[in-house]
Structure 1
Amino acid sequence: MAAFTSQELSTGWMFRRTDSEEAWLPVAKVPTVVHLDLMDNNKIPDTSHGMNEHEAIWVGESSWSYKCTFPTPSTTQQSGARIALVFEGLDTFATVKLNSIVILSSDNMFISHHVDITAHISSNLQATNILQINFDSALVRGREIMKEHPEHAFNHRQGGVERLGVRKAQYHWGWDWGPKYMTAGPWRPVRLETYCSRVDDLSIEYNLAKDFVSCGGVISVRVDGFGRQQVCLILRDAREQLVFQTDNEVSANGLVQAPFSFQDPELWYPHGYGSQSLYTLACELIAGGNVVQTLTKKIGFRTVELIQEPDPFGKSFYFRINRIDMFAGGSCWIPADNFIPRIPPEKYRAWIELMVESNQIMTRIWGGGIYEEDAFYAACDELGILVWQDFLFACGSYPTFPPFLSSVEAEARCNIQRLRSHPSLIMFAGGNENYYIQEICKLTYDFEGDKDPQSWLKSSFPSRYIYEYLLPKVMSEEAPSLIYHPDSPWGDGKRILDPTVGDIHQWEVWHGIMRPHQSYGKIGGRFNSEFGMEACPHLSTINKFISDPKERYPQSLTMDFHNKAAQHERRLVSYVTENFRIQNLSLEHWTHLTQLTQSEAMSYAYRSWRRQWGSPSARQCGGALMWQLNDCWPAISWAIVDHFLVRKPAFYTIKRALAPISIAVMRTQPDWTEGHTSLVETCEYDVWIASSRKSGFEGAVVELRFISIRTGEDALPLQRYDVDVRPNGTTFVCEGVEIGNPPSPEAFVIHAKLIIDGQVVSRDVDWPQPFKYLDLGREAGLRVRISGCRQKIEISAVKPTKGLTFNERPGLHFSDNGFDVVPGEEYSVDVKGLEKDELLEWAFLGGNGSRSTGRELKARL
């Protein structure tokens, strides 16, 4: 009997517009999308550069065809041999022809297809088979779908309205952080398979004993083939030691369900809480006495709970992994490129390494993108990042006509089956901000009174059927151990900004009424799954997407073009001018001030909400996932790491705030943005310690200094506290301590330092707000010295210095950046990638609140 073989059809492809007589153009490789091939053939310019997005609009209005040839496999002459084409992803409306015969029609880019072509392939081994895929314009087809369904009100926010009827990545229609590129093409691999029998699916369901001393469950296998077949199931631990093995006959319907159990499982944990132990599950398919296929998966064993229980604040919302409560500090994830096929696995891993570096433990894959590549989830498994996966519905009231629902169900099953074995994946949500549309458009929604799914289909909000009936039904059948949440945000059918239940997207800062970012601590919810502040990337990135020196200024057309957020000019400038003095409008000055604004906003958010982690009986806030970690192109956006993986200062701010043990100091601040600003003569300050450690610390020391901004001398006596740090929670050092609040120039910073076993574990600095009122003086007495073969920077200052930021570029980064420096403290920063003759440049807030700069005048080794 023939062994299973799989050959990727990655080369030898050509493409052209479908309805044209143009010459076929070469395709570098498949997977691909048409924009990549047009750029390769110099038909459109680099789409991320300047304003070249306009040069590619026509691409999305056109239909495109791809074709290749392949020989007939020799196994066709073996009795019972079958041949199949596997399409892991076709974007989006695709008609596939083999030797001029239609073998597949697809209208969903998220579904993979296995097509038996045995009857259609040439039996002549000398013949060449022609495979052609025609892709209709998703824009055109989307418009047609709307006309075909006038019964549905296509309510939406963001992107083109026709996207709602098309199962394609919604961000392809453009979003408030990315351009509009209507892609088409074989965006995931195309493979040619030959076999007599093959493993169609391999999955595992398990239970851990309460004391974690044993693990047991069922391994399920689905086999496509005929005749007498067996499967040998093998489980090995991280050291490749055999844990379990069993041989099973395949039933007549092609199914195997094999019970298993073993002792002393090694659990999988998020990083910082334990090891990321991964087992290897192997399935050997045996037919005719021979192993014809071996399929392996990496799996992990852990328990997952979403704790939603009544408490003093309403109803809790936090995650418990292996019986450990975890504050889910992290960020939201969007697709890392406009054109997914050009993201290599190593870049996915680099992104996840950045999350680990910044002490994040969770990412939320946003519902307007894609079910991510296997390399993404594999990196999360290996590095210990929890994954919250949205189903792919975003900011819309989606239609529910029968073919659409069938496609959605197939999509859900396909992707749950593909992803369910990853230990990092703990939850699916129904989508992103779809109940926003229900509220904004006042669509019918009676959560408590109407529990009949069929009636929902007849309402003005029929997509409730998808989120509250169809998707949870598929989840219960395909992955019953995973958590399901109807949408993000969502809380038991209550209004979307209800702070007592569920998760919320807190956009009253930046969007909405544009609250001061200092108010984050007062407006959070039980789990804050979106919030953010925009900032420019470093100058190295700006210079990449703007080549014309005349356009390199803050208000240029090209700068605005690379910021897709509505009203970004007034919003960003409002937050900058509310907090900082603008001495000039140089690009360098503006870039630094926007980065400081973002950094300050994230500092207030993460410190305030991690403070509310509290204690086991009072978890007021269960997590914070800022918007957003990454960019899909070089842009001015909410990302804390830009498209070229260059970290913004806010990245480091989050790293400090989410450290395993982190001290925070914060004084009450007057709201000077409401008008009638006046001097507040006294204020109060709080000091607390947030810990994710499973054990506490006795005899820790907290030192508080009150340092004059003008002189750098202590304005008040040192305060010292002996503290026992509680495990996995918040330890309050002092609360509501009243102090005077002198005006500039007598203002002071409060510096808090946590010392454990004689080592400085964490520091924090609280400044009077806003910075624009402060007299920071002309000189901070800042001293920056490079040592250790240009791998270490030593820093000190005579006066408090705000936001010391080293300029970064691809390949050059630091262990800390964008931090405050106070006199009497020594700071040491590791640097990677500083070249021999490269000048180190930095900036800080000085010169009466303006941007002061420094530069290493001579390279030192």
Structure 2
Amino acid sequence: MLQATSLTEGWTLRHPDGPLPAAVPGCVHTDLLAAGLIPDPFLGRNEAEVAWVGRRGWTYERVLDAGSGQEQTDLVFDGLDTVAEILLDGRPLGRTRNMHRTHRFDVTGLSGRLTVRFASAYAEAEAVRGRVGERPGAYAEPYQYVRKMACSFGWDWGPALVTAGIWRPVRLEHWSTARLARVRPLVTVEDGTGVVELRVDVERTRVEAPLAVEATIDGVTARAALDGTRGAVRLRVPEAELWWPRGYGGQPLYNVELTLLHGDAALDVWRRRIGFRSVALDTSADAHGTGFTLVVNGERLFARGVNWIPDDVFPSRITRARYRERLAQAAAAGVDLVRVWGGGIYESEDFYDACDELGLLVWQDFPFACAAYPEEQPLRGEVEAEARENVVRLMPHPSLVLWNGNNENLWGFRDWAWEGRLAGESWGEGYYLGLLPRVVAELDPTRPYTAGSPWSGSWDHHPNDPAHGTHHSWEVWNREDWAAYRASVPRFVAEFGWQAPPAYATLRRALPGERLAADSPGMLHHQKADDGNGKLARGLERHFVPPHAGDFDRWHYLTQVNQARAVAAGIEHWRSHWPVCAGTVLWQLNDCWPVTSWAAIDGDGREKPLYHELCRLYADRLLALRDASLAVVNQAAERWSGRVLLRRMSVAGPELGRAELPFTAERRTVAVLDVPRELRPAGPEEFLVADADGLRATRFPAPDRDIPYVVPEYRVALAPGGITVTARTLVRDLLLQADRLDAAARADRGLVTLLPGESVTIGVRGWKTPDAHAARTALYCLEPPR
């Protein structure tokens, strides 16, 4: 039987001051941090102080004894970041140049000093660029010339911290006769029966040995002989329970085990969990253009999605528990789809396991983003090898429903002046429209593939045409007011978003001792977007009287309100146009460090007001007020019937009119009600409120700067597990910033609007010494200009 010996202990990192203890999995930065030799690059402007780390080579070492009683021993690295030479007692075992794949070396009977010598990823990228020629990209860093996590080189939300190291586990594998080299589970559902076909490839030491495989799932067992190095075994599970995305059904997972046999002797075992479900992508043409609708188990979905970036600049620090926490936050917000963005990595099994369990659909980008990628060697062979390996590695996960060729590269070729600069040179089209769809079709035909995001389906339409396929909506953030989200109905909005700073306690930790201001040195360093603060300021000016210079607290609150408002404007509008629009994927769920960004959860894991707004926007049932109508959005499995209370209100307090309207929204549909003309607000001093079954929508017809708000008055009292706020006047967008009370404190809700006489109880956990007066100092709401 194959035996594995972990090699995660006993490593050292060479350093001029002497060898340092090295953590494996890990990277150079984390080892230097642990030794106190570099400052924390997340704090202040320390990022610049450690830039030298990515510019030099590094060497890891340990003693290796590969002796065993078996016929072969392999040294297996699950991940080397990125350009490395592996030596044993100075003799080369091999070289690597790809962070996204495993590497295996025959070390049978060998022992001695194992050395892993990393070259700078910059040096490799620059050498490849010199060989294949210059290619355009969104950033000056040379990330498209090396198969490494692109955002290591920095992004418009991330620092430039170019890593090196043994970033995933390493082990020895001892085996005889044969081992399982690859197992591909093709999982389908046929007339209510779950079917899994396990296609097997083996590596042998003895060609003549007769081999077989035996597989078991849910009490069903099947056996098949291998023909040379390949074979297949098919299992049928009658009345298999279907795996569903969250909100549509349960997530039953089945343990499947396959054993490689020589006679009655077990040589190797493969174990995974699978789920039975069907998945399709409907891209058929219709009266509105070309659709893009995910279909799971025959059910057409409006995808409530978020984009996912690596949760840490140093991915080896992301534990199984941290993946689970972050993804559970997504599920709790109503998210049912997570897009693994193409400037990051193929995530660890822990990520996909959590998605399987939580019912989160996974849209997986291949790692290409925002650049023209050369298709010459040495890159082409590495791209194919990594694609083949990772398609097979991730196939067992029922949560994985879509392969995507790249992020924004097809769009970039058409709109970002690449075509002229390339002058006929390769730029990645051959990957996205040739190599990658061929690999997916060959290895994983049970899942759909799309060439890119955005992508209209063919060159017959502009790649980012909102009427065809997927659309990225960035003109709004970059140049327009967020009200412009309501001007169009894309078929599927795969990226859109609005910036805001992180939570106050996150800023205080990241910028110790700094007097916070929107343009203070640390704040500017932790704002990576091009003209990010300018766009934040212009976004505020369109809606609010700007806060006084130096009033950081008000600026911080208003930018977070504006972020939540912007995203709400888009999602309410697009959800109300289902099924023409079939999904929204917010940019972005998470951050990899403390930064002003588009994230709903900041780099310290704290929820912004946007996160709590997502809980409302992505709930099964949603009310969305438009100028003259109310959309009753029902994504639940049952019909929603009832009566909605519409009230025309004065901001000064009085109710000016009301009506109760009956409604019925069938399952997975949207009903639209006309707002009676006499209830439509007549000016900026009026607004409309809709209430039904505990849900509320409001519609203010003017920007806040033009609304004659009264001075808000409210009472604050302690309540079990939190506080209760009772309004005497209109209190719009009330927010408790619980982390101002205690860095560990979290509120259970975000922005809430109270009418006169209404109360809300805000739960607070992690608050060590509850005090009503202190709570009042952490409460913010909209006020008349001072």
Inter-partner Cα distance in structure 2 for 1:816 and 1:478: 45
Q: Matches of 1:467 and 1:258 in 2, distance apart?
A: 32
How does 1:576-595 map onto structure 2 within 5 Å? 576-584=540-548, 585-595=550-560
Map residues 683-722 of structure 1 onto 2, 5 A cutoff: 685-698=628-641, 700-710=642-652, 712-715=653-656, 717-722=657-662
1:291 aligns with 2:289: no
Quick check: 1:444–1:460 contact (8 Å CA) kept in 2? no
Query: What are the residue-to-residue correspondences of 1:461-540 with 2, within 5 Å?
Result: 461-492=426-457, 493=459, 494-511=461-478, 514-540=479-505
Letter in 2 for 1:231: V
Does 806-815 or 82-91 show the bigger shift?
Answer: 806-815
Contact 1:689 1:732 (8 Å CA) reproduced: yes
Could you tell me how far 1:547 is from its partner in structure 2? 0.6
- Tell me the equivalent position of 1:802: 732
Q: Which residue does 2:415 correspond to in 1?
A: 440
Match of residue 773, structure 1, among 687, 691, 706: 706
Q: What are the within-5 Å matches in structure 2 for residues 87-102 of structure 1?
A: 87-102=77-92
Output one character per residue of 1:306-325: Cα deviation in whole Å (capped at 9) or x when no partner: 11122221111111111111
SS in 1 for 2:382: helix
Question: 1:576 is aligned with what amino acid?
Answer: L
Return the offset for 1:849. 4.6
In the TM superposition, 1:575-724 aligns within 5 A as: 575-584=539-548, 585-613=550-578, 619-667=579-627, 685-698=628-641, 700-710=642-652, 712-715=653-656, 717-724=657-664
8 Å CA contact 1:802, 1:844 repeated in 2: no
Query: Could you list the per-position Cα deviations for residues 181-200 of structure 1 after superposition, in whole angstroms to 9, with x for gaps in the alignment?
Result: 11111111111111113222
Tell me the secondary structure at the aligned position of residue 655 of structure 1. Answer: helix
Structure 1 residues 353 and 296, CA gap change in structure 2 (3 angstroms): same
Contact 1:707 1:800 (C-alpha < 8 Å) held by counterparts: no
Distance 1:583 1:263 in 2: 65
- Alignment check: 8 A CA contact 1:95 1:104 kept: yes
Shift in CA distance, 40/206, structure 1 to aligned 2, threshold 3 Å: closer
Specify the alignment match of 1:26 in structure 2. 21
AA aligned opposite 2:331: V
Partner of 1:853: none
CA distance in 2, matches of 1:781, 1:443: 56
Q: Which amino acid aligns with 1:37?
A: D
Q: What displacement does 1:303 show?
A: 0.9
Q: Does the CA-based 8 Å contact 2:647-2:679 persist in structure 1?
A: no
Summarize the alignment of residues 315-326 of structure 1 with structure 2, pairs less than 5 Å apart.
315-326=290-301
What is the Cα deviation at residue 769 of structure 1?
2.5
Classify the secondary structure of the residue corresponding to 1:470.
helix
SS at match of 1:846: coil
What residue is the counterpart of 1:856 in the other structure? none
Q: Is the 8 A contact 1:159 1:171 kept in 2?
A: no
In the other structure, the counterpart of 1:673 is: none
Q: Which moved more, 1:107-116 or 1:460-469?
A: 460-469
Q: Deviations over 1:55-85 (max 9, x none)?
A: 111111101110111334342xx5xx21111
For residues 609 and 634 of structure 1, the distance between their equivalents in structure 2, rounded to whole angstroms, comes to: 30
Q: Does the 8 Å contact 2:732/2:754 carry over to 1?
A: yes
Q: Which residue of 2 aligns with 1:732?
A: 672
Shift of 1:743: 4.3
| Counterparts of 2:646 and 2:227, CA distance in 1 | 71
Corresponding letter in the other structure for 1:812 = A
Structural mapping, 1:66-81, within 5 Å: 66-75=60-69, 78=70, 81=71
In structure 2, the partner of 1:248 is 224
Deviations 1:460-500 (A, max 9, x none): 45421111001001111111111111111010222133121
Asked if 1:763 is matched to 2:696, the reply is yes
The amino acid that maps onto 2:730 is: P
C-alpha distance in 1 between matches for 2:126 and 2:115: 25
Contact 1:796–1:822, Cα closer than 8 Å, also in 2: no
Find the aligned partners of 1:101 and 1:735 in 2 and give their Cα distance.
79
In 2, the alpha carbon distance for the partners of 1:51 and 1:652 equals: 30
Once the 2 structures are TM-superposed, how far is the Cα of residue 6 of structure 1 from its aligned partner? 1.0
Please give the alpha-carbon distance, in whole angstroms, between the structure 2 residues aligned to 1:140 and 1:194: 35
Q: Does 1:54 align with 2:48?
A: yes
Aligned to 1:786: 718
Alignment partner of 1:844 is 2:780? yes
CA contact (8 A) 2:66 2:108 kept: no
- Partner AA of 1:248 in structure 2: A
Shift in Å at residue 837 of structure 1? 4.3
What is the aligned partner in structure 2 of residue 752 from structure 1?
A: 690
Larger CA deviation: 347-356 vs 494-503: 494-503
- State the shift of 1:22 in Å: 4.9
Structure 2 CA distance for partners of 1:324 and 1:107, relative to 1, 3 Å: same
Q: How far apart are the structure 2 equivalents of 1:219 and 1:149?
A: 40
The yes-or-no answer on 1:230 pairing with 2:219 is: no
Deviation for aligned residue 1:229? 3.3
Amino acid at match of 1:200: A
3-state SS, counterpart of residue 294 of structure 1: strand
1:165 aligns with 2:145: yes
Deviations 1:547-581 (A, max 9, x none): 1143x222101101001001012111110121112
Identical-pair percentage: 30
Mapped partners of 2:258, 2:677: distance in 1: 64
- For residues 701 and 768 of structure 2, what CA distance do their matches in structure 1 show? 38
Is 1:261 aligned with 2:261?
Answer: no
Using structure 2 for the length normalisation, give the TM-score. Answer: 0.95
SS at match of 2:14: strand
- Going from structure 1 to structure 2, the CA distance change for 1:845 and 1:576 (only over 3 Å counts) comes to same
SS at match of 2:778: strand
**Alpha carbons 1:223, 1:250 under 8 Å: kept:** no
State the AA in 1 paired with 2:311: A
Report the Cα offset of residue 842 of structure 1.
Answer: 3.3
Tell me the equivalent position of 1:83.
Answer: 73
| Aligned twin of 1:155 | 136
CA contact 1:208–1:302 (8 Å) conserved in 2: yes
Q: Which residue of 2 aligns with 1:451?
A: none
Cα deviation for residue 441 of structure 1 reads: 4.4
**Counterparts in 2 of 1:748 and 1:458: CA distance versus 1, 3 Å:** closer
Indicate the SS of the match to 2:728.
coil
> CA separation in 2, counterparts of 1:508 and 1:654?
22
Q: Secondary structure of the equivalent of 2:626?
A: strand
The residue aligned with 2:118 is 135
8 Å Cα contact 1:267-1:300 kept in structure 2: yes
Helix, strand or coil at the partner of 2:94:
strand
Paired residues of 1:60 and 1:137 also in contact (CA < 8 A): yes
CA distance in 2, matches of 1:465, 1:549: 49
Q: 1:214 corresponds to which residue?
A: 193
CA distance in structure 1 between the partners assigned to 2:272 and 2:596 by the alignment: 39
CA contact (8 A) 2:542 2:703 kept: yes
1:681 equivalent in structure 2: none
- Deviations along 1:426-482, one digit per CA (max 9) or x if unpaired, are 11111111023212344559xxxxxxxxxxx99345421111001001111111111
Root-mean-square deviation over aligned CA pairs: 2.0
> Does 267-276 or 818-827 show the bigger shift?
818-827
Aligned length: 772
Specify every segment of 5 or more residues in structure 1 that has no aligned partner in the other structure, as ranges. 123-128, 237-241, 446-456, 614-618, 668-684, 851-861
**Cα pair 1:502 1:527 within 8 Å, conserved:** yes
Distance 1:554 1:294, change over 3 A: same
In structure 2, distance between residues paired with 1:325 and 1:842: 43
TM-aligned CA distance change 1:648 to 1:104, over 3 Å: same
Alpha-carbon displacement from aligned partner over 1:237-295 (angstroms, at most 9, x marks no partner): xxxxx2x1123333322x22012222111011111110011111111233463334332
What are the within-5 Å matches in structure 2 for residues 442-457 of structure 1?
442-443=417-418
* 1:616 corresponding residue in structure 2: none
Q: Distance in 1 between matches of 2:667 and 2:438?
A: 39
1:562 maps to amino acid = H
Letter of the aligned partner of 1:189 in structure 2?
Answer: P
Q: Please, what TM-score do these two structures have when normalized by structure 1?
A: 0.87
* Structure 2 match to 1:677: none
Indicate conservation of the 8 Å contact 2:738/2:778, yes or no.
no
